[in-house]
Every structure is written in C-alpha cells, then in structure tokens.
Structure 1
Amino acid sequence: MSAPTPMEGRASGSARVYQSGGDQYIEEHVHHYAPGSAPLFGPPWPGPAGPREAAPDSVRMPLVGRAPGVLRDRTDLMARLRAAVAGPGGDIQVLLGMGGCGKTAVAQALFTEAVRDHGRVGLWVNASERVSLRAGMLAVAGDRGAGAGELAAAAGGRRAAADLVWHYLDRSAHPWLLVLDNADDPAVLEEGGWLRTSPSGTVLVTTRHATSALWRTPGASSHRLGVLPLEDAALVLSDLAPDAGTRESARKVARRLGCLPLALTLAGAHLAHQVLESWSMDEYDRKLTEESTALVDRGASATGGGQSRHLVGRTWQLSLDSLADGGLPEATALLRLLSCWTADPVPLSLLMPAAQDGAGLQHLSPPLVPSRVEPALRALLDHSLIEQVETDGHRCVKAHGVLLDSVAAGVPDAERALLSAAAGRLLRAALPQEGAASPRARSLVRLLAPHAAGLLHRSRRHDLVTAESVGIAVRLARLVYEAGDWTAALDLAATAAKTAAAHLGDAHPATVEARSGQGPVLFRLGRYAEAADLLRSVHQEALRTLGPHDARTLDAAYELQRVLHRLGDLTRARTLLEAVLDGRRHVLGEDHVATFKTRCEMLELRLAQDEFDGYTTAAEELAQDCERRLGPDHLVTVWARDALARGLLRAGRGAEAEELFERVLAGQRAGYGDEHPLVLGVLIQLSRAQYAQGKREQAAGSAREVAEGRARVLGEDHPETVAARAWYTEVRTGPPAPDGLVDRPPTRSTPPTPGGR
C-alpha cells in the first residue's frame, strides 16, 4: 500500500493541532494546489519539486497522514504503552473505544516513537477487512524475509498464511512494533489465527469492539479510550479555529458535540475553512441546536458506535449545508454515492464515468452532473470529509467509516434505489475487461472487491438487492480468483450467493450463478467434497429452473465434473463432460474459448481412463485448432499442448514429449510466474520425459527444482511436495534404464488451468 497524500494541519502562536488517523482518522488540513494544477482525474499535479510520484507500497508507515501535534488527555496511556514497547516484547496492547475517539492517533504517535526512540521496526496493517488484513500481514512477512513463492502460496490459499507470517515475525533479527489498526470485527483476526504473541515484538490493536474474548488472550492488556474531557475538547476546537470564539464558546460547542475528537475536528475544520460566511463558535452552537433528529443514523443501535454516528451526522450535515449554500449541493450527492460502498480507498477511475456521462446521477436530488463532479470532490477534500490517498499505484479517495455510516442512514428513501443502481453501474464499468492478467489489473480488482461487498450490504439492509448487484459481485469474485487470492474470492462469492438466495430466491438465475461461482474456488483450495456437495445441488437447481442447455447449467456441470474427476468418479465425470461439450458446441460454437477448454478437459479424462486409442491424433488436432483460433500464446493453447505432451510421454515418445513440455513450461511461466503450482506440475512431467530417455542427471535436476519449489510454495507436508520428493529420490536411486516407466502411468498432477478456470 502506498503512503497517503500529505495533509497539513495549521495553528497559530502556541496553539496545537489535534489529529487522528485510520478508520478514526481526523485531521485539520489545508490543500494547496500549484498554479495550473491538473484535475483529480488527470495526472498528478506538480508540486514545488516537480511532478509527484506514487510512494512505494509499504507497511513501514501508517497510512493515516501526519502524526498529531499533541494528544489531549492521553499522557498516562502513552506512558504505559511506551513501557510496553521498551520492554522485552511478547505482549499485546489493545486500544478500545468507539469510532472517532482517537485510537489511531495514539497508535500513530506510539509507532513514531517506537521507530525513532526505541529502534523498533514499525509495521502497520489495516485490519478492518479480511482482504486488507491478509494483504497487509503477507506484506509484513515479505518485509521480515519471506520469499515470493511462499507469499504466492499463502495468498492463493495453498499454505497457511498466518503461520507463514508469524514464522518470520518470530525470527525477526530486529525487535518490532506491529499495529493492527481498525480491527473492529474481531472475527477477522480470530478466524485466521492472525493475533498472536511473539518474543520478538509488541502487537498494538485498535478496535471499536470492546467485549470480544479475543482481547482476553494471555499476554493481552486492554486500554479503553473515551471522549475527551471538556477542557481538552475545547482546546481541540480552539487549536483548529483560534479566531472563531472564546474558550467558553469552544466549551459550549465541544459539549454539544459530546467531546468526540472526530466531531470536534470536523467542526473545527468547518469553522476554519469558511469563505462566504464566518460563523463564530456561538453561531455554530445555535445551528447545532436547530438540527433535526432526522439526521440520526436510524440503523445504529444504542451503543457507543451508534452514538458516535449520531454526533458525526450532525456535524457533517452542517458542512454539506454550507457547501450547498455556497453553490455546491453536488457535494451531498457525491458523498451519498460514496456511502453506497465502504470506507476502503475508492479509485478515482471508479468515479470517472460520473465525470464523463453522469452515470445516471443527474437524476438525483440534488443532481450530480458530470461537470460538477470535480468541484464536488475538491470541496469534500477541503472540508475534511474525504482524503486523497495513493494505494497500489492507484489514486483514490477515502472517507471515514463512521461518517459513511451516518451519511448512508440519512439518504432519503426515494434516492436509495437510484444511488444503488448508479454505484453498481460504476463498479461494473470499472472492471478490467482483460481479466486479472496484468499486475495493474490485479491491484485494481483488489481495490474494487470490498466495494462490491459493501454495495451488497447496503442493498441488503434496504431490500434493494438486484440481479445486477449480485452479478457484479460474482464477476469480481471471479477476477479475484484469477488474481490468485482464492480465500478472498471465496468470501466474496459466498456473500453474493447468500445475499442472492435471501433476496432473490434459490431458483433465481443470479442465485444459481452465484452459488456455482463458489465451486472453482473450493476446488482450488482442495475442499473437494465440499465443492462436490455444493455443485451437485447447484447443477440440479439449474437443470430444473434454467434447462439443460442454458450456459449457466453447462458451467455448473463443467465445474462439477472437475471435482468428480479429482475424487475418482471418472464415469460420472465423463458423462457430465460429454453433455457439456455438446451443449457448449451448440450454444457457444465450436471456436469459443469455453468449448476449447472443455475439449482439453476431455483429453485429461481420457488419459485418466487409460483411453489411448486415437488420443495423440485428437490432442494434435486440438492444439492446432487452439493455435489457429486463439493464438499460439493463449493459455488454453498452452493447456492443449500440455495434454498432447502427456499423451506422447505415455505413448513412449519421450524425446517429442520433452521438446513439447519445454514449450509448455515457457508458456506457463509467462502466464503464472516461475513458482506457481501449475508450472511446477509441468516441470515434473518434463523430468519424467527426460528420465524416459535415460537423461538421468537432467531429470534429477528438474525433479529437485520441483521438490524444492513445492516445499517453498505449498509447504513440506503438502501431498504434492511429498510426491515430488518421492520422484526425486526415485530418479536419483532407481535403475538406470527407464524400462517400464512408459508402461506405468506418470503421477498425475493438476492440469494447467488457463485464466484461473
């Protein structure tokens, strides 16, 4: 993740600025744009030293802006935390409190001191969602020395990710402080075993969830943060807006806002940034008194979190009213649109269609027309309602989670369907058309995935779920799967399926498609029996409601036969696959990529059933057809060549098989990288082809590379690692003549799966 755009808080004289970050990010800041600066949707505007460059992805710095100048009423707490960081390590410090109370500000201040004064390695991870937690913790493992293959295996669900991370944290050569920020759903930490102690460092957690048993883990100490004392809260307002009123006036406003740091900072920013008007703190207090309770988040429970949403809601509405009075009512529409998604960074490219053709937002009240999107964005930035950040090379905007919750609660009922539909259209338009093949496409998919889940959540709450919103989530889950994060893909696919079933019904085509989308992910994760049970029911439902020739029925049957193939039920798999092949030829055509994939799968089945008669001829024809229709470098073409090479090896044509496996290996490496399990599966077949020709030394070298690679990527105890080590031993110690090898079926490894099929 990249560092956010710097934001500066200013105060005069001896005044101090109170700031906080993260999910409870609050900051007084002023944006300065150089003359001739480019718009938000254009290239980065130049600064004093020339064009800005995106900061490198890092877990070595908090993604929350500048550290606060002073922490009001946190002196005792900071003393306890400093002592923990300066100690031997092995403990967990948990900061508890409602949204906006400054937990992240404390964490950021401690982080800075730990690095600067105590020589600790500072590591910062956003723990608000499963996707961001996994990505951040794997980045921590990389920082502490994990290799690319190990990280790829963990990201793909082929190796226990938390075990890998803590293995490297425990063995760190330098003491560290690990901050898990915004852990508001403890289940995210608990389910993966992410929260542990280590003798090498200290863990600091910030969370709004105060009652989780996880915080009572041995070695954990909890510290509750509340709102500020009245005097300190008044000082926050006076620091931010020193000319807006007396200390007594500041006390009145602070009391009205419940002394919540987030609300105080937004109020101070509003008072400090007025141009057309110049409210005093007394006038601001009167405006708060006049506000209706209609702005209260109606979906919030009567908890600390709900109270914080109430307070922030009153504050942000005053800022939006001021913007509307100043000629920018579109800021309200834009913030309501952002509230359809989540508090994760929103790529500016996601908002681009709104600035080009309106995306249907011009029908809102107030309308958001294309020419007003840019001014609305800048206005929200200037009033501290959103911030601009750089994430994975994408320029994004980010709003506070508590703020978005309260904004969403205040959307008029008549506007909800329009906003939800517009948010869905923008997500669909932002999906990379080429799939998740390129690194930039993969990073964009990771950014968009939480927003698809967020849109489903908002839609579910107000009974606005549509086949379109479910379909977007299913498509994004597929792209996340192709990008290699199988666990995250399963989370999103399961959310889409559960939502569709609850709101559209089990028989709805969108529900069938969503449930079917979970099958390939379960298959890749090795959960074969679970995948088979799911796909059997999905296939039966699709046959009943959609008919045998519908593309979604054929897709479900295709995924089911793959699982049955792996489970050894080859006869049933063959029956299903023959029906899929006939159906896809009829529905999609002979030259469709899905038809070619089905033909490749059929060759795999024939080989598994020892059906060699005519196999080589069929494989040669398929490879030629794929190369002619799809191109020589397409991954389905590579897959077809692999099927042909396996047939040649089984037919005793070792030299031809070796040459073809070399081509397949180059194609797989180009598509997946050097240590992907599918690449290693081809390499072990190359070793067998070399051994079949008596090239014992070369075969041993290839076998050793597979054994070592699988150990790194899949782990020492993985069955494929065990099989690879056994083959390596056989090559080194077996008989020099390969007689009988051709008659013995080679160990079957997972077939290449182009495009994450």
Structure 2
Amino acid sequence: MTGATDGHAEDHGRVYQAAGDQHISEHHHYGKDPAAPSGPDSVRRPAVGRPPVVLRDRAEVLERLRAGRGGEVYVLYGMGGCGKTAVAYTFFRLATEEGGRVGLWVNASDRSGLRAGMLAVAADRGAGDGELLAARNGLRPAADLVWQYLDRSARPWLLVLDNADEPEILRDGSWLRSSPRGTVVVTTRRSAARWWPGAELQHIGVLPRADAARVLSDLAPHSGTPEEADQVAEKLGRLPLALTLAGGFLSQQVLDPWTMDTYRRHLEEGGGVELIDRGADALSGEDPRHLVGATWRLTLDAFESRGLPEATALLRLLSRFAPEPLPLVLLNRAEIDGALPRARCETALRALLDQSLTELVDVGARCVRSHGVLLDSVAAATPAEELQALAATAVRLLDAVVPGVPDAGPYDPLHRLLVPHGLALLRRAGDASAAADALAVTIRLCAALHRTGDYLSAGETVRTAADLAERRLGAEHRLVLAARSREGRALFRLGRYAEAETLLSRVRAAQERLFGADDPDTLDSGHGLQLVLGNLGRRDEAVTLLRATAEGRRRTWGPAHPLTLRSRSSLLVLLPVSEVVTEEDGSLLALPSECVRHLGPDHTVTLGARHNHAWVLYGLGRFDEADREIRLVTEAYLRRFGPDYPITLAARQLLSRTRAALGHGDEAVGIMTDVVARRESGLGAEHPFTVAGRTLLEDLASRRRPPAGG
C-alpha cells in the first residue's frame, strides 16, 4: 500500500483505508436536514387548532375538574368533534391563569409524539441533559424519569394528554400515572373503563340546543337571529366541531356573505359534510381532527391496522340508518351477513362503542345511537361498489323485525323506533329498486303502527315515505299508490273524513285503471273507502262498494280468507238490520261461527265478527243475547289490547247501550263516561268518534233523570 488512496467507491459505497490504528465513527444523515432529536416546540402551551371563543354548557364538567386537589386522573371521552380538547383547553387556561399551576400539554396521539412530549415535560420539571439523553437512547426507563420529576415538582401542575385514542401506547411503559403534586387530564375517544383503571371518567357529548345555537352566534354574530342559529345547530346535530366550522365559514365570507338561513338551506339541499368542512380554511395545518369529514377516518384506519375490518363494515351499515336509537334486535340477525359475518358483529359493535363512534341507549328497548354528522361522513366516504350490498342488507334487517302480516294489538314501542330508519333507507336509496324495497317495508311498518292505534304516526310516516319514493318511482308506481292508500286509511281514523275520501277515491281509481278491479291493492283501497263513505252518511254508496269489495276478495282470495271474512263482517254493521236477516239467506248472522271454523276463536277477524254480530242482535231487540256477546268480546279486547285501544272503546260503547237497554242505567253511564274520557285523551275532544260518544253519554244520562216536576 502506498500513501495514496488505492480504492474508489460508486453510488453509496464507502472505502476505508488507514495507516496505523484508527477509530472511525460514522454519521448517516438522510434528507435535507441533519438528523436531530425531535420534540414538541412547547409543552407549556396547548397545541390546539382553534381555541374556543366561549365554552358553552361545560360548567358542570369544569367545576368537577377544578374541585380536584391533586392526585386525580380525569378521562374526558366522547366521539370525535364533541369538544373534549376544548374542555381540556379551557381547564388548562383556568388552572394556569387563575389557579397558579404549571400547565403541561402533550399530544398523545402516537407513540413517538407521546414519548417526545413526556420527555419534554421531564426537561421542563428539571431533568438534566444527560438523564434525558439516556432515556432517549433506552439506557434508562423514560416514563420513570418523567414521573420522578413530576413527583418532585416544586409547583403543582396540570398535565393534559390530548388525543389519547390509542391507550395501549400509554399502558406500554406505564406513561399514565397519578401524583399528589398534580392533576392529569386525558382526552380520548376510547370509552371502555378497562383502559383507565383508577381514573374518573367524564363523557363529553353534543351540546344542549340553546348552547349549540349560542356557539354559532358567538362565532358569527351578524349572520342571523338566535332562532336561525337554533335551526342550523339542529341541522348540525349540535356537534361542537361542526358548529365551530359552520361559524367559521359564516364569519369568513367577504364578497358574498351568507346568512344562517342561507347556510341551513344549503345543508338541506345536500351540502352536507363538504359544506361544513369549508369552514376549516382558516385553521393552520391539515390535521384531520379539524375536519368533520376526516376526523373519523383516523379511527377507521386504526380498525384496519388492528385487523378489525368488520368494525368499519358495521359503521358503514349503520350509516344507512338514521341518527336515532336503532334497536339492537336489528343487528343480531342472520341477515347482517350481507355486510359482515354475524359471528363478528359483537366484536365490531364493541369496537365502535370503545371508540365512541356509537353509544348504547335504553329507550324502552336496548338500542345504539350514532351522530348524524358522523353517519353522513361515513356514508359519503363509503366506496361506491359497497353501497348496493349495504342498502340491501339494511332493508333485509328492517324487514326481518317488522311483522309480516301486521295484526291489531297493543302499542309496541319497537314500531315507533323503527320509523326514522325506514325513512332514512328511502332517503339514501341509490336507485329505483332500492327505493321500492325500502318503501315496501315502510308501508308494512306503517300498517303495524296503524293497527296498534297509533294513527297519527302511521299517517305522517307513510305520507313522508310516499313523498320520498314518488321522486324515484313516480306517482303511479304500485307501491307509491299503496302508500297513499295507507295514508287515506290513517286520515279516516284521525277523523279527517273529507281528506280521506278524496285521497282514497283518487288512489282506488288509479289502481283499478292500472291493475284491475280485483287486484288486491284496489280491493284494499275499496274496503278503506267504504268505511269513509259510511261515516260521511253516504250509506248507499258505501254498501255498493262494500259488496263489490267482498265479492272481489272472494274471487281473489277465496271465501275463507281473513280479508274476505273481514269485508263480509263489515256488512253486519253497514246494512240495515232487516237486510242482514235476509242477506244471503241469513248466512251473515252465522258469520261468527264461520270465522271460528276457518280462523279460530281468538283471531282478530273472528272477534270483529262477533262484535258486529252483537250490534245486529242489539238492533233486533235481542238485548240479553247482545249483552252476553259484547261482554265476552269486550273482555277479550281488554286482555289483548288494553282499555285505550280504539276497538276496545267501541265495544264498551256498545256494552253501555246493552246495559242501558236492560235497565242498568247507572252502569251504562259509568262505562260511557270512561269511554268519552279516554277518547278525548287519545283522539281529541272534536274527533267525530269522541263527539258521537259524548252525544250517547248525554242521551244515557238524560234517561236517568226524573221527569220535570215529578
């Protein structure tokens, strides 16, 4: 070897040549900047995108936090965008400015950021460079070093661990501890108590209505009235992040300022998440936590990385439904396999609950509830190729819990809970086929509501469903017409006879023209229409239509079908008593026995036939027989439906007549007094049924009074 360099290197190769003993140290730097230990620029100032102008409705939480004297660990948990960091920021400011504490703020969203931030906390509390270097290089336990200096702090402190959405990071290395010298506040989406042993958990949810409106007014005071702010706040689901973004957007407009009312209209016209996120323009950086449309993407990515794709699938399925309590019974069914394996549904749901993406609520049935802005965000980001399968699965799940053939019965809270979800499926329907499937289930749901006596909900729901579906399917689609027919039946039961007659006549005419006179849908509308005509006093028209309906149902369904027997039973009360006796050679009087033979003694149609038969007996003056019959029917109705059910009240009204006819006037008045009171409560004082009951009561009462001067 000579003194010159004998070798050469190409690309990134290296050549070492030495004469004598040498010690060589290599330093490798990649990128433009020299490598250096990274850490936060400050732990004394909260790293937040936009501090709250005014914190609304969190006084109780702040009071709880301020009551601490040291040694506490508080965990503020809730869904993304609900304002956990804003609460922590406000408490931080109060603790440092008014409480004299040292404030320490660490972003705990990832392992490296947490480690660097906590070591910076140790440095702030007095740790030396050598100790810190040893901890960074793994030569001494880093968490022990940090907490050693926190425990020795001369001044009391507040430590905020923000965005700790992966508590596994805190547990590894035991970063989360308590100390008598200070208070720890953690913000997280993870709600499961197992992650936070010994901590006090505090849920942070959406704002109350009034406070949500005030947030908008705080941020954009000149954009609208308090009432308009209230409407926008409701559209945004009172989610603090969405409110902040909306207020920011409204306050930023210069060339063409929007009012709150304009903003609300754009939301209703489909502006959605994209419009909300336009208010983030003034925020520094591109942290997805500052955007409604992206904040939950962090959690979905975490599901994928932890091998929980079914949690994402379940959330996408939930996004087909409404932001209202969704009964858990829907999710525990084999039909869910169209979106995710049923066996994995429990795991998926627990993951969503743990990440505060949904919550358990009990509203008479165990349910889950997710925020509307979250569901809209997830729906907007769902891959197009998954939408059809998700929509079909959601409809099948709803279909599985709605009665196949809705029957009369007592009020069922499950039906009312399902209403917003049926309408949500219609709103999110991507094509005509999906809309038709969703409408078919919703019509059946409305029939179930109707037959529990909840006529108002049934009518409003089916009208909304028909309006939504008509845009996609057209006004003369079979299912749209069926929905309008169901709406007409509800209008009748609500006492709105003129509206019911107009609607049912129009629908029946269209059905007869399109499908024929003996089509089941045409016959259903005919049966409903004859009820309206009879109560409008147009008995001849009603009888003609009812005869045609009964005969059409006999041809279509056969003589023993429940619908055929129901129409024939209606003839018992619509025909004059003299005609009932001679009708079909007196066979109408034997109809209850025929119903028992074909349907059984407890079938709703059988009970209805016996009820109507008792009316005929009363009309014939056979009061003892009528009284026995209607008493048995009333007892059956009370057992099955309860005292407030409409047909129970109708039966008791007839019972009051038979008791009076048999000389039991006081009993008759007592029965009818109760019937009128219940009708006033359920239907209103001016409903025709209530008015008719009140008239009968006055008549019964007048019969008991002694004659004048007697």
Deviations 1:201-249 (A, max 9, x none): xx988699988978389xxxx9x99998xxxx9xxxxxxxxxxxxxxxx
Matched to 1:456, the amino acid is: L
Asked if residue 391 in structure 1 is aligned to residue 363 in structure 2, the reply is yes
Counterparts of 1:96-245 in structure 2 under 5 Å?
A: 215=227
Matched to 2:634, the amino acid is: L
The CA distance in 2 between the partners of 1:618 and 1:182, in whole Å, is 66
Q: Confirm or deny: 8 A CA contact 1:16 1:70 kept in the other structure.
A: no
The CA distance in 1 between the partners of 2:275 and 2:666, in whole Å, is 69
Q: Confirm or deny: 8 A CA contact 2:311 2:348 kept in the other structure.
A: yes
Give the SS at the match of 1:578. helix
The CA distance in 1 between the partners of 2:317 and 2:81, in whole Å, is 21
Q: Indicate the residue corresponding to 2:451 in structure 1.
A: 482
Unaligned 5+ runs, structure 2? 1-63, 95-205, 218-222, 247-268, 281-288
Q: Indicate the residue corresponding to 1:156 in structure 2.
A: none
Counterparts of 1:52-451 in structure 2 under 5 Å?
A: 215=227, 299-300=271-272, 303-304=275-276, 307=279, 311-353=291-333, 356=334, 358-361=336-339, 368-394=340-366, 396-433=367-404, 435=406, 442-451=412-421
Matched to 2:383, the amino acid is: P
Matched to 1:445, the amino acid is: H
The CA distance in 1 between the partners of 2:354 and 2:680, in whole Å, is 52
For residue 452 of structure 1, the aligned residue among 397, 418, 422 is: 422
Matched to 2:349, the amino acid is: L
Q: Indicate the residue corresponding to 2:505 in structure 1.
A: 536
> Using a 3 Å threshold, how does the CA distance of structure 1 residues 671 and 519 change in structure 2: closer, same or farther?
farther
Question: What's the CA shift for 1:522?
Answer: 0.9
The CA distance in 1 between the partners of 2:237 and 2:377, in whole Å, is 21
Q: Confirm or deny: 8 A CA contact 1:436 1:479 kept in the other structure.
A: yes
Matched to 1:215, the amino acid is: E
Deviations 1:678-712 (A, max 9, x none): 32332232222233233334333334443444444
Q: Confirm or deny: 8 A CA contact 2:212 2:238 kept in the other structure.
A: no
The CA distance in 2 between the partners of 1:526 and 1:207, in whole Å, is 42
The CA distance in 2 between the partners of 1:632 and 1:225, in whole Å, is 50
Q: Indicate the residue corresponding to 2:162 in structure 1.
A: none
The CA distance in 2 between the partners of 1:582 and 1:698, in whole Å, is 41
Counterparts of 1:537-576 in structure 2 under 5 Å?
A: 537-576=506-545
> Using a 3 Å threshold, how does the CA distance of structure 1 residues 464 and 722 change in structure 2: closer, same or farther?
closer
Q: If the length of structure 1 is used for normalisation, what is the TM-score?
A: 0.57
Q: Indicate the residue corresponding to 1:584 in structure 2.
A: 553
Deviations 1:529-587 (A, max 9, x none): 11111111111111121122211111111111211111122222222222211121111
Matched to 2:301, the amino acid is: D
> Using a 3 Å threshold, how does the CA distance of structure 1 residues 731 and 517 change in structure 2: closer, same or farther?
closer
Matched to 1:392, the amino acid is: G
Count of aligned pairs: 491
Q: Indicate the residue corresponding to 1:614 in structure 2.
A: 582
Matched to 2:330, the amino acid is: L
Question: What's the CA shift for 1:384?
Answer: 1.9
Q: Confirm or deny: 8 A CA contact 1:626 1:636 kept in the other structure.
A: yes
- More deviation, 679-688/507-516: 679-688
The CA distance in 1 between the partners of 2:279 and 2:298, in whole Å, is 18
Q: Confirm or deny: 8 A CA contact 2:495 2:688 kept in the other structure.
A: no
Question: What's the CA shift for 1:624?
Answer: 0.4
Q: Indicate the residue corresponding to 1:470 in structure 2.
A: 439
> Using a 3 Å threshold, how does the CA distance of structure 1 residues 433 and 304 change in structure 2: closer, same or farther?
same
Matched to 2:392, the amino acid is: A
Question: What's the CA shift for 1:430?
Answer: 2.1
Q: Confirm or deny: 8 A CA contact 2:580 2:589 kept in the other structure.
A: no
Q: Confirm or deny: 8 A CA contact 1:604 1:643 kept in the other structure.
A: yes
The CA distance in 2 between the partners of 1:258 and 1:729, in whole Å, is 58
> Using a 3 Å threshold, how does the CA distance of structure 1 residues 214 and 393 change in structure 2: closer, same or farther?
same
Q: Confirm or deny: 8 A CA contact 1:183 1:208 kept in the other structure.
A: no
- Which protein shows a greater Rg? 2
Question: What's the CA shift for 1:632?
Answer: 1.6
Q: Indicate the residue corresponding to 2:54 in structure 1.
A: none
Q: Confirm or deny: 8 A CA contact 2:245 2:276 kept in the other structure.
A: no
The CA distance in 2 between the partners of 1:226 and 1:514, in whole Å, is 33
Question: What's the CA shift for 1:358?
Answer: 4.9
Q: Confirm or deny: 8 A CA contact 2:314 2:345 kept in the other structure.
A: yes
Q: Indicate the residue corresponding to 1:527 in structure 2.
A: 496
Q: Confirm or deny: 8 A CA contact 2:653 2:693 kept in the other structure.
A: yes
Which one has more relative contact order, counting CA pairs under 8 Å at least 6 apart? 1
The CA distance in 1 between the partners of 2:243 and 2:699, in whole Å, is 73
The CA distance in 1 between the partners of 2:645 and 2:464, in whole Å, is 28
Give the SS at the match of 2:348. helix
Matched to 2:342, the amino acid is: P
> Using a 3 Å threshold, how does the CA distance of structure 1 residues 612 and 507 change in structure 2: closer, same or farther?
closer
Q: If the length of structure 2 is used for normalisation, what is the TM-score?
A: 0.61
The CA distance in 1 between the partners of 2:216 and 2:409, in whole Å, is 38
The CA distance in 1 between the partners of 2:637 and 2:663, in whole Å, is 25
- More deviation, 612-621/204-213: 204-213
The CA distance in 1 between the partners of 2:690 and 2:551, in whole Å, is 37
Give the SS at the match of 1:611. helix
> Using a 3 Å threshold, how does the CA distance of structure 1 residues 393 and 348 change in structure 2: closer, same or farther?
closer
Matched to 1:404, the amino acid is: L
The CA distance in 1 between the partners of 2:654 and 2:456, in whole Å, is 28
The CA distance in 1 between the partners of 2:462 and 2:642, in whole Å, is 26
The CA distance in 2 between the partners of 1:258 and 1:213, in whole Å, is 15
> Using a 3 Å threshold, how does the CA distance of structure 1 residues 27 and 182 change in structure 2: closer, same or farther?
closer
Q: CA RMSD in A?
A: 4.3
The CA distance in 2 between the partners of 1:322 and 1:690, in whole Å, is 72
Q: Confirm or deny: 8 A CA contact 1:486 1:524 kept in the other structure.
A: yes
The CA distance in 2 between the partners of 1:538 and 1:532, in whole Å, is 10
Give the SS at the match of 1:477. helix
> Using a 3 Å threshold, how does the CA distance of structure 1 residues 475 and 24 change in structure 2: closer, same or farther?
farther
Asked if residue 692 in structure 1 is aligned to residue 670 in structure 2, the reply is no
Q: Indicate the residue corresponding to 2:58 in structure 1.
A: none
Q: Confirm or deny: 8 A CA contact 1:358 1:370 kept in the other structure.
A: yes
Question: What's the CA shift for 1:326?
Answer: 1.5
Q: Indicate the residue corresponding to 2:138 in structure 1.
A: none
Q: Indicate the residue corresponding to 2:196 in structure 1.
A: none
Deviations 1:597-644 (A, max 9, x none): 11111222213x863542694443111011222222222212111211
Q: Indicate the residue corresponding to 1:281 in structure 2.
A: none
Unaligned 5+ runs, structure 1? 1-8, 29-67, 76-180, 185-202, 234-256, 262-296, 362-367, 738-757
Q: Confirm or deny: 8 A CA contact 1:465 1:500 kept in the other structure.
A: no
> Using a 3 Å threshold, how does the CA distance of structure 1 residues 702 and 214 change in structure 2: closer, same or farther?
farther
The CA distance in 2 between the partners of 1:205 and 1:630, in whole Å, is 56
Q: Confirm or deny: 8 A CA contact 1:310 1:406 kept in the other structure.
A: no
Question: What's the CA shift for 1:302?
Answer: 6.3
Question: What's the CA shift for 1:652?
Answer: 1.4
Deviations 1:27-60 (A, max 9, x none): 79xxxxxxxxxxxxxxxxxxxxxxxxxxxxxxxx
Question: What's the CA shift for 1:500?
Answer: 2.5
Q: Confirm or deny: 8 A CA contact 1:480 1:488 kept in the other structure.
A: yes
The CA distance in 2 between the partners of 1:360 and 1:27, in whole Å, is 36
Matched to 2:292, the amino acid is: V
> Using a 3 Å threshold, how does the CA distance of structure 1 residues 620 and 348 change in structure 2: closer, same or farther?
same
